[in-house]
Amino acid sequence: MPTKGLEDVVAAETAISDIDGREGKLWYVGYDIKELAASSTFEEVIYLLHNLEMPTAAQLDDLNAQLAKERELHEFTKDLLETMTAVASPMSMLRTLVSAESAHDPEGWETPENDEANLRKSIRLIARLPQMIAGYCRLKQGKAPMDPNPGLSQAANFLYVLTGEVPSEDDARVLDQCLVLHADHTMNASTFAARVTAATLSDIHSAMTSAIATLKGPLHGGANERVFEMLIEIDSPEAVEDNIKARLANKKKIMGFGHRVYKTEDPRATVLRELARDLGTRKGESKWFDISERIYEVVRDEKGLYPNVDFYAASVYHGLGIPKELFTTVFAASRIAGWTAHAREQYSNNRLIRPESDYIGPAPRSLVPLVNR
Ligand code: COA
């Protein structure tokens, strides 16, 4: 019998991240996620995931310079961004633009065995995703996309190109922590998809396109946007209990709750809860956090389920002024660091990923000619 959803199946060895689902622990290359969220930046985490060591100051300066240099989109991608903004959802736009980037990447036609080229392509994609996402948002609002600011970090620049204003240090640091928390997560569905594509020795842009397509679904990255839609619908802490009980009675899943691996609270949700609380207080808008806390209590009491990364991320992103339609793309702008690291790890010790299936259809039979059917 196959394990439905490949539960408990070990699909790869990795040195990039590890989870203890019973204890609610997550490590990137041996470092506890809570420590990384408290004391490191997204850029340090990018370096860590790709090099399996924290950077020295000089190595970090070098990475920052590369990221700042690579943020600008190619004219071809800018044109495509306008076309896609008119007709596509944010995640469909991102999936298409990342795929299209390979056409104009200076090393887009390199074979995937060239690890140095893969690393440079990874940096370019990590640098450019915020430019695509923010450009989409501004075009939708009838505004011109902003040029990136090379003096800002990935997080600060992301908010800058989105809003047109250099963010406060506090806001930039909150987004930076979100990017740290979302950067990798072992063999989640989108990372697995990236590794399956990489394992055919397809190129890294193709692997990232698979990953983005997989993240898009509401059972994976698409959950954060649905969480905020639920908060809007509920609208007050007093309305939570009836609303959640009705959803559960109708066998609806509560978005942002449950996890395949964690049997206790997702450690990223623990950090995001504090960020959501502080941000709500700082912005004078605690309503979303108060509703979230009440949902947390009701779902815990009714179903024994805990929040996952998407639950509090929704109110944090909202507090930073990010429209809910972009939430899943923000997740992608961080997870691209992990996806690219996993694709390179797959290439470095590759074997085609090709599982088997149990056939449950009809027994072998003779074909009846069309005229006799
Ligand atoms: N709300 C209500 N019930 C839930 C639930 C949720 N969010 N998550 C799981 N359950 C219930 C299921 O209905 C099922 O109950 P049953 O055995 O009575 O039928 C049981 O818990 C197991 O759920 P299942 O969907 O089989 O678990 P999974 O490991 O396949 O799925 C998720 C994991 C994350 C896909 C699932 O928890 C979910 O859909 N969560 C909501 C979407 C979400 O937040 N995704 C982001 C993940 S980071």
Q: What is the CATH number of the domain that holds 233?
A: 1.10.230.10
Tokens of 236: 């007050």
- pLDDT at position 111 over 90: no
Q: Could you give the number of structural domains in the chain? A: 1
pLDDT value, residue 231: 97
Q: Is 253 in the pocket of ligand 1 (CB under 6 A)?
A: yes
Domain assignment present for residue 46? The answer is: no
Domain assignment present for residue 263? The answer is: yes
Of the residues 50, 182, 185, 259, only one is catalytic, namely: 259
Three-state secondary structure readout of 133-202: HHHHHHHHCCCCCCCCCCCCCHHHHHHHHHHCCCCCHHHHHHHHHHHHHHCCCCCCHHHHHHHHHHHCCC
Distances (CA, A) of 240 to 274, 287, 294, 298: 21, 12, 7, 8
189 C-alpha to center of ligand 1: Å? 14
Cα Dmax for the chain:
76
Whether residue 207 contacts residue 194, with contact meaning beta carbons closer than 8 Å, is answered with: yes
Chain segment 216-260, per-residue pLDDT in tens: 999 999 999 999 999 999 999 999 999 999 999 999 999 999 999
pLDDT value, residue 205: 97
Domain assignment present for residue 231? The answer is: yes
259 C-alpha to center of ligand 1: Å? 6
pLDDT value, residue 302: 96
Which class for 237: exposed (0-12), middle (13-18), buried (19 or more C-beta within 10 A)? middle
pLDDT value, residue 108: 84
pLDDT value, residue 221: 93
Domain assignment present for residue 295? The answer is: yes
Mean pLDDT on 12-18:
97
Q: Is 223 in the pocket of ligand 1 (CB under 6 A)?
A: yes
* Residue from 186, 247, 259 to probe ligand 1 pocket by mutation (most atoms less than 8 Å from CB): 259
pTM given for the model: 0.96
The mean of the pLDDT values for the chain is: 96
Q: Is 310 in the pocket of ligand 1 (CB under 6 A)?
A: yes
pLDDT value, residue 1: 78
Q: Which domain holds residue 228?
A: 223-319
Three-state secondary structure readout of the chain: CCCHHHCCCCCCCCCCEEEECCCCEEEECCEEHHHHHHHCCHHHHHHHHHHCCCCCHHHHHHHHHHHHHCCCCCHHHHHHHHHHHHHCCHHHHHHHHHHHHHHHCCCCCCCCCCHHHHHHHHHHHHHHHHHHHHHHHHHHCCCCCCCCCCCCCHHHHHHHHHHCCCCCHHHHHHHHHHHHHHCCCCCCHHHHHHHHHHHCCCCHHHHHHHHHHHHCCCCCCCHHHHHHHHHHHHCCHHHHHHHHHHHHHCCCCCCCECCCCCCCCCHHHHHHHHHHHHHHHHHCCCHHHHHHHHHHHHHHHHHCCCECHHHHHHHHHHHCCCCHHHHHHHHHHHHHHHHHHHHHHHHHCCCCCCCCCCCCCCCCCCCCCHHHC
In angstroms, the CA 46 to CA 319 distance is 25
Residue 307 β-bridge partners: 257
23 C-alpha to center of ligand 1: Å? 19
Mean pLDDT on 88-101:
97
pLDDT value, residue 251: 96
- pLDDT at position 349 over 90: yes
pLDDT above 70 covers a percentage of the chain that reads 100
Domain assignment present for residue 353? The answer is: no
Chain segment 122-181, per-residue pLDDT in tens: 999 999 999 999 999 999 999 999 999 999 999 999 999 999 999 999 999 999 999 999
How far separated are the first and last CA of the chain, in Å rounded? 34
Catalytic residue list contains 182: no
pLDDT value, residue 110: 84
Chain segment 271-322, per-residue pLDDT in tens: 999 999 999 999 999 999 999 999 999 999 999 999 999 999 999 999 999 9
Identify which of 283, 345, 348 has the alpha carbon closest to the alpha carbon of residue 317. 283
**Rg value, the chain, Cα:** 21
Catalytic residue list contains 74: no
Identity of the amino acid at 245: K
Which class for 149: exposed (0-12), middle (13-18), buried (19 or more C-beta within 10 A)? middle
pLDDT value, residue 189: 98
Mean pLDDT on 266-271:
97
pLDDT above 90 covers a percentage of the chain that reads 96
